[in-house]
Structure 1
Amino acid sequence: MINATSNNLGKKNLLIAVMVMKINGFTEGAQPEQLLTSLFSLASNWGDVFDTSKLKAVHLSGAMTNVVYRVTWPKSATEDEERMVLVRIYGEGSDIFFDREEEIRTFESISTHGHGPRLLARFPEGRVEEFIHAKTLSACDLRDPDISTLIAAKMREFHVLNMPGSKTAVLWERMRKWLIKARNLCSQEHTKEFQLDILESEIDTLENKLSKHQHDVAFCHNDLQYGNIMINDKTRTVTLIDYEYASYNPVAYDLANHFCEWAANYHTDRPHVLDYNMCPNLEERKRFVQSYLSSKGNQPRDTEVDQLIDDVEKYTLANHLFWGLWGIISGYVTHIDFDYIEYAKQRFSEYWLKKPQLLKDE
């Protein structure tokens, strides 16, 4: 893995490369010079003839925390075959949500377990990753029974990873930290609209009620929207990517997060709009949970399936608060073209709507 600390390109080639990158839209959030140092070093290690004038950068839509590009260059002057990598530019303010060095360690550790892409290089504003040659899922793919079953099995596989560090759930403490940040950032209007003055009590109440029961805690992805799931159509293998928010948490929370993401389609003219009618119905949730629990070869009891379904439903409330706070903070610190505040409104509206029903037995 390469760290970009010095410029190995000649001044003339560097200027050409910077112009090429900017023409291809690579202007958001990073200094091309630092990135090009990393790319040049990678290409040299791979034995490529690095023609800076033939670099191409294509922006990949759908990311809401970072800005992501597919960057390619010819491997040699005589062959048509291209080298392809993924470049991730850290979004403005994203360090508020997680510790970047810890996230890098998580990324590398997951890679050593054989999951996801390899980390190829780092530079101050981002990193270069292995490009996974597979199809990113679409919103409608989540509703395909066969694909959903594959996702369930991959989640179970992900949850048994033995990751370094504390094995304690971080969900509640992370939300409290985000609430403090949201209060510091918000206007009086938004503070009142989102009822930030009472949210600490809501988090406490929710934690107390949901923690009364014993829940399995495991290493969770915590952001399993369709854009973070890739599938190889030939081998029918699923890969989970983007681990910025990954940590130990209740398994039921991770499944709840995935189910909530069925409501989203981030590739429309209004990507912030959520349609909760698209969330999985009871039959779809049951099929997913059964696939999840049976993926290791054990046939779960009906009571085990029903209990996890019930736990997952309750943890959707924590999910709405979590991403609602994320939306508020992002609305103040991020300049990606996405209506974060309106997204947060929908999350909190769903929380207040569903809370009486889901917690009535508690």
Structure 2
Amino acid sequence: MNQELINLFSTLSQDPTLVRKKVLEYGSDFLGGEWKTLTENDVDVVQMTGGQSNLLYLVKGKLSSESTTPSCFLVRLHCQQENQVFTDTVVFSIMSERGLGPKLYGFFPGGRLEQFLPSVTLDNDTVSDPEVAVKIGANLPKLHAIEVPIPKRPRAIVMIREFLEECRATGKNTFKFVP
């Protein structure tokens, strides 16, 4: 976890100037094009909410309508343990390369730049809808058939235990599990 970077982005609401400079650096380095000519006043940065293990920031640049460079991207700051970040990055890269997820624009110590795809998070009611469940189920075999160079041993139980330990480390002894 890159605490310095997380600390920098946490200042967004007080003074967005430093964050804007950083995302302009990322845009210039990884996307090039008009991102190289933008100033801090040409960029908006908004923290996205709802994530479970990372910090997400939507970056929008005021690019010309003729630009072929993406006008927005996500900055994803990793907050997981290093081994999980590595696995996540490998899987994301392969999915991106195969057109099965957002494009990977670049990665840097502590995070990555990726394509922003406007979407809605599926809630329990939506996933329980038979039509939606069938569509999801039809695509799962495609995802599971992808060869990725990561350990094949089951990790769900280990990940749940690690998550519970993180929860216990907060000092609270009561946990509410939502069905």
What is the TM-score of this pair, normalised by structure 2?
Answer: 0.71
> Using a 3 Å threshold, how does the CA distance of structure 1 residues 127 and 157 change in structure 2: closer, same or farther?
same
1:62 to 45, 50, 54: 50
Give, in whole Å, the separation in 1 of the partners of 2:24 and 2:172. 32
Q: Map of 1:211-290 to 2, 5 A cutoff? A: none
- Contact 2:35–2:61 under 8 Å retained in 1: no
Match of 1:76 in 2: 64
Q: Deviations over 1:208-242 (max 9, x none)?
A: xxxxxxxxxxxxxxxxxxxxxxxxxxxxxxxxxxx
Alpha-carbon shift at residue 108 of structure 1 (Å): 1.0
> Structure 1 residue 63: deviation in Å?
0.7
The Cα RMSD (Å) is: 3.9
Paired residue for 2:138? Answer: 153
The CA distance in 2 between the partners of 1:77 and 1:114, in whole Å, is 25
Matched, 1:90 2:78: yes
Find the counterpart in structure 1 of residue 129 from structure 2.
144
Which residue in 2 is equivalent to 1:329?
166
Q: Is the 8 A contact 1:84 1:131 kept in 2?
A: yes
Secondary structure at 1:153's aligned position in 2? Answer: helix
After superposition, where does 1:1-362 map in structure 2 within 5 Å? 22-23=12-13, 34-45=22-33, 49-76=37-64, 83-91=71-79, 94-95=80-81, 98-166=83-151, 168-171=152-155, 175=158, 322-330=159-167, 332=169, 342-343=174-175, 346=177
- Secondary structure of 2:81's counterpart equals helix
Structure 2 Cα separation of the partners of residues 26 and 328 of structure 1: 34
Q: Distance in 1 between matches of 2:16 and 2:140?
A: 34
Normalised TM-score (structure 1): 0.39
Whichever of the two has the greater Rg, that structure is: 1
Equivalenced residue count is 169
> 1:46, CA displacement in angstroms?
5.7
* Closer/same/farther in 2, CA of residues 342 and 70 from structure 1, 3 Å limit: farther
The structure whose residues are more often helix, as a share, is 1
70-79 or 111-120: bigger deviation: 70-79
The DSSP-based 3-state class of the residue aligned with 1:89 is strand
Structure 1: which 5+ runs fail to align? 1-17, 176-321, 334-338, 351-362
Give structure 2 stretches of 5+ with no counterpart.
1-7
* In 2: Cα distance, 1:77 partner to 1:52 partner: 19
**Residues 111 and 118 of structure 1 are in contact (CA less than 8 Å); yes or no, is this contact kept in structure 2?**
yes
Report if the CA contact (8 A) 2:44-2:61 is conserved.
yes
AA partner of residue 12 (structure 2):
K
Aligned residues of 2:45 and 2:58 also touching (Cα < 8 A): yes
| Contact 1:120–1:129 under 8 Å retained in 2 | yes
The aligned amino acid for 2:77 is I
Structure 1 residue 152, shift from structure 2 partner: 1.0
- Equivalent pair of 1:51/1:73 in contact (CA under 8 Å): no
